[in-house]
Amino acid sequence: MAIHYEEFGMLHENAEEVGLLFDHAYPPLVRRTSVSAPSGYFVSALLWESVEEAPAEFVFLHGGAQNAHTWDTVALALGRPLVAIDLPGHGHSDWRAGKEYAPQSVIDDIAHAVRTLAPEAHTLVGMSLGGLTAVAALAAYPDLADRIAVIDVTPGVNRDKAAEITAFITGPETFDSFDAILERTVAFNPTRSEQSLRRGVLHNAREREDGTWEWRYDLFTPERTGDLDGRFTDLWDAFGAINQPMLFLQGSRSPVVDADDIAELRRRKPDVEVVVVDDAGHSIQGDQPAVLAELLAQFSAA
């Protein structure tokens, strides 16, 4: 049976799950666009616009094996013009022939996308792989934003801390049906509602011509994740190079960031503001989107 997918047709579900009003007659102004980046590849993004046609105030970068739609509920709760970018190799952005998506390898393309789509943005937000990418980009291009929010990641991430995440993203390449790919997703995310996970899979997977399903990102094979230990340690220097205000958000139930990471973060960036978000795992935007939106609004207004 064919699965109907309308990219912006499920936003009312996002709103209802966190108690936001949703006017079906006047839905949010959001559209997809793309830019040709310096690498020659295209970078895709979602533009959340306002009635006043104000420029984007925030730029969001998602985590590995995610896409720009991971921020949908946060965007609805925030209610501000913003841009959510699909990282290279994810969502609707081009896959790279060399399969290299480390932060240092993509920051030129990300910086170009930010300058093209959100030249007046004041706050850069990144989670997991997107958080490391945001830090690397802002360290290399200080004019990209006035402040940065990093969600649940430091260069101290390794295979042990991210074991559950890598176990999920290094799974099968294809699935016999949509139900099969959803079933695996539910099994690895027991605290999330099936409705929200179904929505996430529809955004992050696609049906092949033979009826099987595959993820909408360049697969994280065991070979690509096997060198996670020590791969990002050089990025500690990037954290220390950032002069702009930094908000660091840690999920209270996440194993990805530990006390040693926070200590090193404070050593590198003494003025960092660290907030632990209760009842949240690694993907704070999925577990506590309304809380995250409020924290980002306060941070940007400070």
pLDDT at position 51: 84
Angle between helices 194-204 and 178-188 (to 10 degrees): 120
Please choose, from the candidates 122, 62, 120, the residue with its C-alpha nearest in 3D space to the C-alpha of residue 86.
Answer: 62
Task: Identify whether the C-beta of residue 46 lies closer than 8 Å to the C-beta of residue 91.
Answer: no
> Which segments of the chain have a pLDDT < 50?
226
Q: Which of 93, 128, 254, 300 is catalytic?
A: 128
3-state SS, one letter per residue, for 32-72? EEEEECCCCCEEEEEEEECCCCCCCCEEEECCCCCCHHHHH
Active-site residue, 90 included? no
CB-based burial of residue 300 (10 Å sphere; 0-12 exposed, 13-18 middle, 19+ buried)?
A: buried
pLDDT at position 229: 57
Active-site residue, 234 included? no
- For residue range 208-237, what is the model confidence (pLDDT) as tens digits? 999 999 999 998 765 555 455 567 889 999
Active-site residue, 62 included? no
Measured in degrees and rounded to the nearest 5, phi and psi for residue 266 equal: -70, -30
In order of their start, the domains of the chain are 11-162+227-301 (3.40.50.1820)
Q: Which of 62, 90, 203, 282 is catalytic?
A: 282
Q: Which of 86, 94, 109, 152 is catalytic?
A: 152
H helix or E strand, kind and range, residue 260: helix 259-268
Q: What distances in angstroms separate CA 294 from CA 115, 128, 183, 288, 291, one per listed residue?
A: 25, 20, 32, 10, 5
- DSSP one-letter code for 90: B
Neighbour-count burial for 49-58, b at 16+ CB within 10 Å, e otherwise: beeeeeebbb
Classify 224 as helix, strand or coil.
helix
- For residue range 148-197, what is the model confidence (pLDDT) as tens digits? 999 999 999 988 899 888 889 888 999 999 999 999 999 999 889 999 99
